[in-house]
Amino acid sequence: MNKSTDICWYPLRVTYSRELLLKEVLDAENIENFIPMHYECIKQGDRKVRKLVPVVHNLVFVHTSFARIDRLKQSVGLSLSVRYIIDRETQRPLIVPESQMRSFIAVSGNYEEQIVYLDPAITALQKGDRVHITGGIFEGVEGIIIRVKGDRRVSVCIQGVMAVATAYIHPSLIELIPEPVAK
């Protein structure tokens, strides 16, 4: 397995809130990418306008190889403005597992008002059950049960980067994922 050519999800930091500019470059190169977005009321003159903006500025998730990101940084001149998020334990670029990223996109790609973004430290401290959502708009999502604002929600966490919690999930739509048996 060649780490530099394997296709993975890499969270990248972009300076000066240029995440949408990087998205345009990635889209032009047909590189799959994701920026968590939400609606925000912005005052323009005397009126408020509802606008879709990034939830976390300077963050873009990119689904490609390490080598392709490095080539892109050099060819487009983005080397000064794009940085990998480094895993503190391995001192290597952080890689988000495919299933975790798909669940994260399924929840945060839905621009409803009930979605709550959380600091990953908050969800890391919770001792919740791992669950699978079996129905509704979040069907197929896997995450951890937490309580936010008094409601039962499912949290999907990108370790060390961010977490997102669904809207209230009815217990009939949640299936417990059994813990692996220790050998």
Fold of 7-84: Alpha-Beta Plaits (3.30.70)
User: pLDDT tens-digit profile of 2-21?
Assistant: 566 789 999 999 988 889 98
Q: What is the DSSP secondary-structure string of the chain? A: --TTTSEEEEEEEEGGG-HHHHHHHHHHTT-EEE--EEEEEEEETTEEEEEEEESSTTEEEEEEEHHHHHHHHHHHT-TTTEEEPBPTTT-SB--B-HHHHHHHHHHHTS--TT-EEE-HHHHHT--PPEEEE-SSTTTT-EEEEEEETTEEEEEEEETTTEEEE-S---GGGEEEPPPPPP-
pLDDT band at 123 (very low <50, low <70, confident <90, very high): very low
Residue with the bigger pLDDT between 89 and 4: it is 89
Which amino acid is located at 129 in the chain? D
pLDDT (0 to 100) of residue 77: 65
pLDDT band at 122 (very low <50, low <70, confident <90, very high): very low
Region 133-155 average pLDDT: 85
pTM above 0.75, yes or no: no
pLDDT (0 to 100) of residue 162: 87
Q: Please determine, for residue 80, whether its predicted confidence score (pLDDT) is greater than 60.
A: no
Residue with the bigger pLDDT between 63 and 44: it is 63
Q: Please determine, for residue 172, whether its predicted confidence score (pLDDT) is greater than 90.
A: no
pLDDT (0 to 100) of residue 125: 35
Domain boundaries defined on the chain: 7-84, 98-176
pLDDT band at 120 (very low <50, low <70, confident <90, very high): low
Q: Please determine, for residue 121, whether its predicted confidence score (pLDDT) is greater than 70.
A: no
* Calpha distance 59→170 (Å, rounded): 31
